[in-house]
Amino acid sequence: GDSVTQMEGPVTLSEEAFLTINCTYTATGYPSLFWYVQYPGEGLQLLLKATKADDKGSNKGFEATYRKETTSFHLEKGSVQVSDSAVYFCALSDQGRGSTLGRLYFGRGTQLTVWP
């Protein structure tokens, strides 16, 4: 079945460091891919998305490229800030096959802490 595997945390970085959080997926067909962010005490917010191979999603300095050949969607940011401290979730959509109607499959989340 469809699934997402993301890099286990926690990840601790100094401000202005480069960030990579790895995400790989297993899916039949051509899923859409997402990164969500969860700040302390809040629900999940959509950070970025990509709907087809070679698409690059970007938002707030974060980027991720949909790589079908490596089934990956790694999250990157060139210079992290303290305010980026949060939990990051990679997810894929099964594109609404059959009765599942576009449910999302989530990775387990990666806790990022950025120190000043």
Partner 1 sequence: DVKVTQSSRYLVKRTGEKVFLECVQDMDHENMFWYRQDPGLGLRLIYFSYDVKMKEKGDIPEGYSVSREKKERFSLILESASTNQTSMYLCASNPGGRTYEQYFGPGTRLTVT
Nearest to residue 36, comparing CAs of 103, 102, 108?
A: 108
Indicate the DSSP class of residue 72.
B
Instruction: Pick between residue 50 and residue 80 the one whose CB is nearest to partner 1.
Output: 50
Our CB check for partner 1 shows the closer of 74 and 110 to be 110
State which residue, 14 or 28, has the beta carbon closest to partner 1. Answer: 28
**Which of 8, 16 has the CB closer to partner 1?**
8
SS3 of 93-110: the string is ECCCCHHHCCCEEECCCE
Question: Closest Cα to residue 7, out of 103, 113, 88, 62?
Answer: 88
Beta bridge partners of 90: 35
Reference 13, options 71, 62, 83, 70; nearest CA is 83
Structure tokens at 59: 């938002």
State the minimum distance, in angstroms, from the CB of residue 52 to partner 1: 12
Residues that bind partner 1 (CB under 8 A): 32, 34, 36, 41-46, 49, 89, 93, 95-96, 99-104, 106-109
User: Least CB distance from residue 101 to partner 1, whole Å?
Assistant: 5
Find the shortest distance in angstroms from Cβ 94 to partner 1: 8
Least separation in angstroms between CB 1 and partner 1: 10
